[in-house]
Amino acid sequence: MLEIPTVTGADSVWGKNLLPPMKDIPEGFKGYHGNSETAPYIKFVEHAFFKGSDMDGLTEKAGVDRVAAIRAIRACMKTWEPKHEHKIAGCAYMLSEWFDFNQGEN
């Protein structure tokens, strides 16, 4: 499982270093549609990015600190860097590592 980064006050504004490097993000998360396994995560992150989300509909996986994981994902979405494609891919990957969708919620 991907380690949940600790988010500082500065990271909540400049969280670009919290994202996994593009080379470490599985190919299925790169691109706008993903594949059958990754598409729900990409769709969720895109919706959260453009319209906001309270992250309802997600259940944290065993051993995941829900608050810390959501803080990290939100910090990554708010940064001015890197490129949008990297933010969406990275956040969708992190989301898939730390959360499952509640039944019927994706």
* pLDDT tens string 84-104: 889 999 999 999 999 998 755
Supply the angle between the helices 39-51 and 66-78 in degrees, to the nearest 10: 70
Q: What's the angle, vertex CA 69, arms to CA 44 and CA 37, rounded to 5? A: 40
Question: Amino acid identity, residue 93?
Answer: Y
Residue-wise pLDDT tens digits, 16-56: 578 899 999 999 998 766 778 888 889 889 888 777 777 77
Cβ–Cβ < 8 Å for 89, 29: yes
- Tell which residue, 8, 19, 18, has the closest CA to residue 85: 19
71-88 pLDDT, tens digit per residue, is: 899 888 887 778 888 999
